[in-house]
Amino acid sequence: MENIKALILSGGKGTRLRPLTHTMAKQLVPVANKPILGYVFEHIKEAGIRDVGVIVAPETQAEVKAYLGHGEKWDVKITYILQKQPLGLAHAVKTAQKFLKDSPFVMYLGDNLLGKGIKEALDKFRKTAYDALLFLKKVPNPGAFGVAVLNGKGRIKKLIEKPKNPPSNLALVGVYLFSPRIHEAIGRIQPSWRGELEITDAIQELIHMGARVEGEVLDCWWLDTGKKDDFLAANTTVLDDYVKRQVDGFVDEKSEVSGRVHVDATARVINSVIRGPVIIGPGVEIVDSFIGPYTSIGEGTRITNSVIEHSVILSQVIVEGVPRLEDSILGREAKIIKNQTRHKALRLMVGDQSLVEV
C-alpha cells in the first residue's frame, strides 16, 4: 500500500467546554500539562506517518499553528487546511481532498485520547484490502455516539448516529482509516438534518458500494474530552498512566511530597503537602497549601494557603486562601481569591482571564 497520510481535525467550536473554549481550541486544552493534540501527534509519529494535514477553524487556527509549528517536534510535515465552517467530518475530508489526493489516510479527531497508539491497526490496514477500518469501543451509553453493528466476522454492516434504541454498545471512537474510495462515497451523500456532511453517512455509503468496512474494537481506555467531567476523567486517567515520581524543583524541608509527583525544575514548593499523582509545571509556586491526587498545575501558576484536588489548573493562574477546590478546571490567568470564611467545597469551571471571588 502506498504512503499513508494523516488528517487531524482541530477545527470545531468546542461548545461543550465553554467558557474555556471561547478563547482557546479545545484540542489545545492540556491533559496532564500537555495539549491533547500533543498526544495525537505522538501516536502519528509512532505509526511512522510523516505527511500530516491539520484541519483548522478561522477562530482558533493561529493558536493551533503556534503550538504545532511545521511539525518538527514530531518529525512530521504539516499542511494546514482551513475549514471555514464546521459542516461535518465528511465535509472536512472533502475540504482536504487536494492534500489527500489518492492516498489512503488515517483521520484522527484531535480532541480524542486513546490509551494506546494506532501503529498495530495501521499495519493491519496496510496488509489488507479494507476500504475502511474504524476504531470502536464498548461504552455504557451508546446512545450518545455513532454506533456500529458488526456481523460475526468483525465486518461492519450498519452505522447509526446517536440511536434512541442502540442495537449495539460499540461506539465510533473518532479514529478512522480510509482508502481513497471514501471520496467517492462522500460525493454521493447529502447533508443531514443538521446541515452537515456526516462521516457515518459516507461510511454507510461505502458499505452500500460493496466496500470492505471493518471494526477494530479497542482493548484500552478511550476518552472523549468534550465535556468538563470527561475532561477531568481524562486528566485522571493520563496522570495514572504516565506520571512517574520526578521531583526536580525546590521543595523546602517543611513540605511533604508523596507518591507519583512530577515537579518541574523551575517550580517551588514551600510548607506544603503534595500527594500524587500530581504534575506541577514550570515556574509554579505552591505555598502553605495541600495539592491532592489527580491534579495538574500549569506553568507560572501561584497557589497559596489553599486545598486543591482532582482539578486541572492551566497557566498563570492565582489561587489564594481557598479552603477546598475540587473537580474544577481553571482557565489561563484565572484568579480564585477567598474573601469570606464559609468552609464549603467549590465546584468550578472557569474560563480564561476570569476573576472569581468566593
Q: How far apart are CA 336 and CA 87, in angstroms?
A: 38
Q: End-to-end CA distance of the chain, in Å? A: 59
If we measure between CA atoms, which residue out of 104, 97, 59, 60 comes closest to residue 79?
97
- Is 171's pLDDT higher than 70? yes
Q: Tell me the per-residue pLDDT of 6-34, one tens digit each, with 9 for 90 and over.
A: 999 987 655 555 555 555 677 888 888 98
- Is 356's pLDDT higher than 70? no
Q: Tell me the per-residue pLDDT of 271-296, one tens digit each, with 9 for 90 and over.
A: 999 999 999 999 999 999 999 999 99
- Is 352's pLDDT higher than 70? no
Q: Tell me the per-residue pLDDT of 83-137, one tens digit each, with 9 for 90 and over.
A: 988 888 999 999 999 999 999 999 999 888 888 889 988 988 888 888 999 999 8
Q: Tell me the per-residue pLDDT of 129-153, one tens digit each, with 9 for 90 and over.
A: 889 999 998 888 888 888 888 887 7
178: confidence class by pLDDT, cuts 50, 70, 90: very high
Out of 15-19, 172-176, 304-308, the most confident range is: 304-308
- Is 57's pLDDT higher than 80? yes
Q: What is the CA radius of gyration of the chain?
A: 22
Domains of the chain plus CATH, in order, are 5-239 (3.90.550.10), 245-357 (2.160.10.10)
C-beta separation of 134 from 213 below 8 A:
yes
DSSP string, 174-194: EEEEE-THHHHHHHT----TT
> Regarding predicted confidence, which is higher, 3 or 357?
3
- Is 329's pLDDT higher than 90? no
If we measure between CA atoms, which residue out of 199, 180, 179, 40 comes closest to residue 111?
40
Q: Tell me the per-residue pLDDT of 226-254, one tens digit each, with 9 for 90 and over.
A: 667 777 888 898 898 888 999 999 999 99
3-state helix, strand, coil in the chain (%, to 5): 25, 35, 45
- Is 183's pLDDT higher than 60? yes
* pTM to 2 decimal places: 0.86
**Percent of the chain surpassing pLDDT 70:** 89
299: confidence class by pLDDT, cuts 50, 70, 90: very high
344: confidence class by pLDDT, cuts 50, 70, 90: low
Q: How far apart are CA 162 and CA 31, in angstroms?
A: 27
> Once rounded to an integer, what is the mean pLDDT over residues 205-212?
90
| Lookup: cell for 240 | 495514572
- Is 325's pLDDT higher than 80? yes
Peptide bond into 104 cis (omega under 30): no
Q: How far apart are CA 186 and CA 95, in angstroms?
A: 11
> Once rounded to an integer, what is the mean pLDDT over residues 54-67?
90
- Is 72's pLDDT higher than 60? yes
